[in-house]
Structure 1
């Protein structure tokens, strides 16, 4: 990674317009890592640095420092497109394929800027000039910290930057419950704490910052929508369009719901099915040795990490669930 960091630093020196772009339905790692990198670069004097998100990010992340630097392409299309078109350096964070950038994909492909991909998901595509990829890393936020460190910019990490990095790592590991077994992760976290990060405040703002509707939705899902399949050591929950309307669902309200069934004794694989217009979004979580990423890749056009992955289905909600259940016997045989 040191040689790649040197290349990034060399290009940064001559870059004047820098854009940081992340994926559709941005999560805590996408937003945290993007804002951290943006603010560090601004602190170094690269004042024409901005962040573009393809669509809106969850309300529980809007307290993060620096959100004023974000343009939402789905709401501010002209501004976001202009930023990408005028960029001479384009950082692409937390995705491994250009189609994960949604409508921004066309503008990524057309851009003449130097493109730098920073990501921790498996099998990154070949669409960047420089690719910084490490699947052992807990998060893209952790990789951003290491890049900042290797380019000699640690002195530009203020409390705002440190907060964004910590939030990114914490949220992408389920508060350090998965994808967080490497010593390097805790070295980075210790450095952030040394910089004065308030970890309890960050936890509260991410995990204790939901609406009443969201809490009632969680109760509904656990009571009425959770199906436990002890024979297959699996469980799932689902949410239809009508149920989302019933609980005034907003983006991010179901964040983390998929993790709850794993708390049941004997359950090692969980899924959450969310009906959207035209497709079903699926989240998978696992523990022990089962590879949720492989399951998602082979069956639901998805991928991710061994214990945390996602996918999509063009089938209806019930047909998607039926397909999932039909695959479980083979999962038991290979697990």
Structure 2
């Protein structure tokens, strides 16, 4: 069984004890793991009598807003003055679920210049942030799983708190595609078992996360798979692309394309799947893979991105057509994708 280094627990506890103005920060375009780990850790701080201020760079996806605690999150994009004020007044900033300061979006410079002590809790490889305490464990399925273990080591009785369990379960579940991919293993499922044995209502959570979309999202998914999916059998690859007009047509909301990148992986023989979404000034790229093909390395080398071995993201500064042409040319150079 994986064991978190004992030094983490003491250093983490000491930094929390010494602090009175704690700010928790997640990454830009927060997913279930970012929000779940942040809300869960905040719940633990409340238990300690040290409630923190939670800050997200931009809007939270609708299917996560049922979680108790999300109503307290300050969205910097909507309330920049309020977010910056709390960051400036903080004596401890805890960053969750990102490995580069650039991932904190519109608040990155305020975090970088803050005199507060800083902690990073994350499961992405190759962290590149100057902090006072670095807790980086890429072997974990999610930052939420890491938060569960850290809190359990500091207070094993608190880990069965209902709100805490719900939050970290959401993070673990969403970052593994409902426990279907990623780096989860027996240790991950044993943590889930502890929560289930102590009253976690997994069926309600699964329904809230996966059965909570508007009809336009389902129609967008159908359009994406029928009209915008490109199948490249010779490269064991398939990808979906969506331009801004497509998104407007189906009244796209934040979170509507969540999970679309995984759809092509259900096709027999597909090793690499990609999702390209047109933004105002760039193309957002999501990558997924099976087996040994490392999309983290691929994204870092060609698309100014990164992530995990089988799940990563990046961006392309150009038009959609230019991006897709470049992507397909790259595939021709990759021997491991030739069928």
3-state DSSP of counterpart to 1:20:
strand
310-319 vs 192-201, which moves further: 192-201
Matches within 5 A, 1:205-216: 205-216=208-219
Q: Structure 1 residues 157 and 70, CA, compared in 2 at 3 Å: closer, same or farther?
A: farther
Q: Which residue of 2 aligns with 1:33?
A: 37
In 2: Cα distance, 1:196 partner to 1:63 partner: 18
- Within the alignment, does 1:68 sit opposite 2:57 as a pair? no
TM-score for both structures, normalised by structure 1: 0.97
The structure 2 residue matched to 1:43, chosen from 40, 47, 64, is 47
The structure 2 residue matched to 1:219, chosen from 202, 217, 222, is 222
3-state DSSP of counterpart to 1:288:
coil
3-state DSSP of counterpart to 1:164:
helix
3-state DSSP of counterpart to 2:104:
helix
Q: Structure 1 residues 267 and 175, CA, compared in 2 at 3 Å: closer, same or farther?
A: same
52-61 vs 143-152, which moves further: 143-152
In 2: Cα distance, 1:333 partner to 1:212 partner: 39
In 1: Cα distance, 2:46 partner to 2:320 partner: 45
Q: Which residue of 2 aligns with 1:89?
A: 92
3-state DSSP of counterpart to 2:40:
helix
Contact 1:115 1:129 in 2 (8 A): yes
- Within the alignment, does 1:201 sit opposite 2:216 as a pair? no
The structure 2 residue matched to 1:240, chosen from 239, 243, 263, is 243
Q: Which residue of 2 aligns with 1:9?
A: 13
The structure 2 residue matched to 1:256, chosen from 244, 254, 259, is 259
Matches within 5 A, 1:1-335: 1-47=5-51, 49-152=52-155, 154-155=157-158, 157-333=160-336
20-29 vs 105-114, which moves further: 105-114
Q: Structure 1 residues 333 and 141, CA, compared in 2 at 3 Å: closer, same or farther?
A: closer
123-132 vs 185-194, which moves further: 185-194
Q: CA RMSD, aligned part only?
A: 1.3
Q: Structure 1 residues 81 and 160, CA, compared in 2 at 3 Å: closer, same or farther?
A: same
Unaligned stretches of 5+ residues in structure 1: none
Number of residues of Structure 1 aligned to a counterpart in Structure 2: 334
In 2: Cα distance, 1:125 partner to 1:8 partner: 19
In 1: Cα distance, 2:139 partner to 2:127 partner: 14
Structure 1 runs (4+) greater than 4 angstroms displaced: none
3-state DSSP of counterpart to 2:333:
helix
How far has the Cα of 1:219 moved from its partner? Answer: 0.3
TM-score for both structures, normalised by structure 2: 0.96
